[in-house]
Structure 1
Amino acid sequence: MERLRRAPDDEGMSLVELMMAIMVFGIAMAGLMGGFVSVGQKTRLDKDRVAAANLAARELEIVRNEFNASSSGPLTVAASSSVTNGYPLTGG
């Protein structure tokens, strides 16, 4: 009885090759996840900056309108010891 031999090109992957492939895949995924976290943090920071710029523009527009409301607006602002914003921001 003769034993059957496998062809040399039909060997498949060894356990070591499989473990190395899994390790390379894991390192690549860890790098991608780090990138996703970084992008999320930058997006959140940019969103806060846009909100702050919009609030500042709103306040400047209110002051500009009060200042230009009448011809005595600049004198009224200069003569008062304190100025109160009659349009407070909503929220906390």
Structure 2
Amino acid sequence: MLTPYNQSKFVYKTLTAATGEQFRVVFLLTMINGEVRVRVISANPISKPNIIFLPKFNKKQSTISTVAKTPTKKAESPFNTLFFFNSQPTRAPSL
């Protein structure tokens, strides 16, 4: 007489619950009459220390200086420099 249990195997899985807890679950997989059946053998919580590294925020000082404007005179932008025009050689006239 043949037994209906052909192949039995233990499977270990780490599962995460909806609350974020992790469990190590042991399943028993068996094949009975051509059907795979699964049974939970044990579920043990995995305890790890919760180490949380929070970001550190520093208040950085702005490097952009404010330019005071007078109503009659346009203010020069602190972002533009005139060195570009000094470094360009003059072109020879084309004939």
TM-score > 0.5 by shorter chain: no
Question: Which structure has the larger Rg?
Answer: 2
Q: Which has the higher strand share?
A: 2
TM bracket (short chain)? under 0.3
**Which structure is higher in helix share?**
1
Give TM-score scaled by structure 1 length. Answer: 0.26
Taking structure 2 as the reference length, what is the TM-score of the superposition? 0.25
